[in-house]
Chains A and B, each alone.
Chain A
């Protein structure tokens, strides 16, 4: 796999979003996602601070990033996963031209690549082993140099879907997170993160071997897998 870091930080407006309750968000200059506030009828920035406050107040992420059935017309067969890192949605194609749409968090620089991979294997409450460079710079990671056992504090969350190209692990995963408020944000280190409830739901519906399409949008300087 060739990887190229690309610039990010675009204004990502989450269309057809209806926040369940009024929110008062402060717009930071560096926000890269916007959500629609139906009470003020304006698009408001949705950054890390706003996301955290919102989650703390409501106990869930804004409506757009919650798991929901949406109309989704496609030639892809049911069971296929389509990841739109730009809009922070993961679609699981369903019969009848519908999809289950989940909110996702993606890497600080977007996903960084695009193409077609497959679910090579999955794991429940997976062990997380920090990369060597993270061990070197982060004392919190260093203590898990030998692998952090699965559990509620594990960065990979409740489930992991390991993405393969052919029979080779791409090193990318779709996984859960202990930070559920980060859906809709560009925060992780390259993987696709989901709320634990959502990743458990996705894991229960997905077959090993499922086709995964990672879109190019938001990753113009991507390299294919």
Chain B
């Protein structure tokens, strides 16, 4: 999941830093880094609108990758980042929050989830638990090329989560009974769209919050709870023999994401820090945000204005409890 939420930006860091520093207007009192994924774009704009409404503060939303945003938070050119995913970004949190103490995380997190999902037709065909993938009779419905093995999309090639899904398939055993496919997310999601349109069975890697859960009737496969004793991951970047050396025969650990802000904000605007520490979105709201921007193609700022208007009382509570 690291690749899904920011860590694949490293190659672009230098260029992005340059562009980013040039794009920040001195006229704005605060700078909010905006991620490229949809819920992050929505929440960055919601914070912008709320800061204006509650504190009269102008905030600029500036698109930035996670590494760029953290560098900005550290340097004081960025004040707020709306979505820092954990445990994916544990290394950055250690560097800037724990060690340098230039960045702080809101104590409130939005719970995230990742695992394997099935279309309703696949669930109706008997695939509802991860163990069902070990049964070739059940996974036969996922076979589209008549080689006797079902096919499952496990993520995009660049995602670290894709390597981990491969490890999980090997550890659970279904790596032997099904063919694991990796391909860009748009291809994986379009396959879900086409399967839903024809009520066809399909199993795929998924994560929430995500618009797919609002688009389609999706069943999350049940599986044994996260067990750190069974979770020993070495990524391809860490060990050439990662696939043989790793095990992960349990569900993923619960992920969360938090608002991050520069600790310098505590002196500049302590009222904003108190506000940020109270902001909370539900996973359902995050899915709604993704859906509104990604599927309905709403403008992030317009969406944010409406969201803030609808949730005025709640935002007041965050600002002045």
Contact = CB atoms under 8 A, between A and B. Distances in A.
Interface of A: 6-12, 15-16, 32, 70-77, 82, 84, 86-87, 89, 91, 99, 110, 114-116, 213-221, 224
A220 B215 contact: no
Given A6-B145, A7-B146, A15 B187 contact: no
Interface string B245-274: 000000000000000000000000000000
Interface string B189-229: 11101111111101000000001100110000000000000
Contacts of A99: 197
A174 to B, nearest CB: 16
A7 B147 contact: yes
A66 to B, nearest CB: 15
Nearest to B295: A75
A220 B149 CA distance: 9
Nearest to B153: A216
Nearest 10 interchain pairs by C-beta: A10-B146, A74-B193, A217-B144, A15-B198, A218-B144, A213-B190, A220-B145, A86-B144, A84-B194, A220-B179
B53 interface: no
A213 B186 contact: yes
A89 B196 CA distance: 14
Interface residues of B, number: 33
Given A73-B215, A87-B200, A220 B184 contact: no
Given A10-B146, A82-B194, A219-B145, A75 B216 contact: no
B187 A75 contact: no
Interface of B: 143-147, 149, 151, 153, 179, 181, 183-184, 186-187, 189-191, 193-200, 202, 211-212, 215-216, 294-295, 297
Contacts of B215: 73-75
Nearest to A77: B297
Given A7-B147, A77-B297, A217-B151, A115 B196 contact: no
Which of B143, B151, B179, B189 is most buried by chain A, counting CB atoms within 10 A of its CB? B151
A81 B210 CA distance: 22
